Structure 1
Amino acid sequence: MSWDLSGLFRNHAKDIARTLRRRGLTAETAADLTQDTFVRVLACPPKETLGMHNPVAYLFRIARNLRIDHQRRERVLIRVDLSDNEFAQIADNAPNAETIVYDRQRLERTKMALAELPERTRRAFELHRLGELTIAETAATIGLSTTRTWTLLRDAYEHIDARLNGL
């Protein structure tokens, strides 16, 4: 049995959605259940042995069953109205496992990239970035001009960035 689902959708989707709306569903829910009806038929078409010769009746029966299931679920759901602040407090700000692994890999690559730098460049980077010194303070500490120190820092950032882009 081969049904023209696209033709059935074009000709009957609005009728199914309208029927669902008349049964008390919102427009969005009716549209979702209408799509679910066609997806259900597409994913699991009726067996030829069922003798189903009226595809429209079959679609309406599926839509009806989906509506009943939806309304049963809605009856047991507990709804709570929350303000935006209360809703934001629910979110878990802890990183997920993938983020933790990715960040650890990046940190390890950064450590390896720092170890590859020449001593003076690494020292300038550590003083500026990790020691939170300004470029002028870093330059005075390592005994170089601010222009040369800035060049060392730029080289360090480019080196680290190149190593991290390989991740």
Structure 2
Amino acid sequence: MAQSVSTSSCDSSLLQAFVDNRLMLVKTAARITGCRSRAEDVVQDAFFRLQSAPQITSSFKAQLSYLFQIVRNLAIDHYRKQALEQKYSGSEEEGLNVVIQGASPETSHINFRVLENIADALGELPSRTRYAFEMYRLHGMPQKDIAKELEVSPTLVNFMIRDALVHCRKVSDTLSDTFARR
């Protein structure tokens, strides 16, 4: 594929050296990444880094070495990132066969019962305590905003949330003891 890049638009000798040696830089990156397409991405990243790099007023050979070192380093970083992604990723079929821990019908039933009992326990609380707990724990509203809305102090809201949590834990512990005895 022929490349038609205007070399007259380069502002520095380093960028000019980059444009003149682009194909060799791509080949160097391709040897490391194992893919010409990824190598093109690496070289493009190098170009963007060079645009913000300080001017180098050394010899042409030193500039060329600098370019190849940048491309080599970026290609190695890209290769390492790709290897890490492949290590922790799998095929779609593997994902479909993953066993979800605690997904038995019995566990699902127990969890559903616990949630029902906690909902019942929240229903036993005074309305503003329940409201403060739900807004803070379920909706993530800051306590100071809840205090403004309920026209109480933030300290009182903190105590209301704590009381609701203690009440829910008691219900949950009682239920857990019931299931443990079975």
TM bucket (normalised to shorter chain) is 0.3 to 0.5
Give the TM-score taking structure 1 as reference length: 0.46
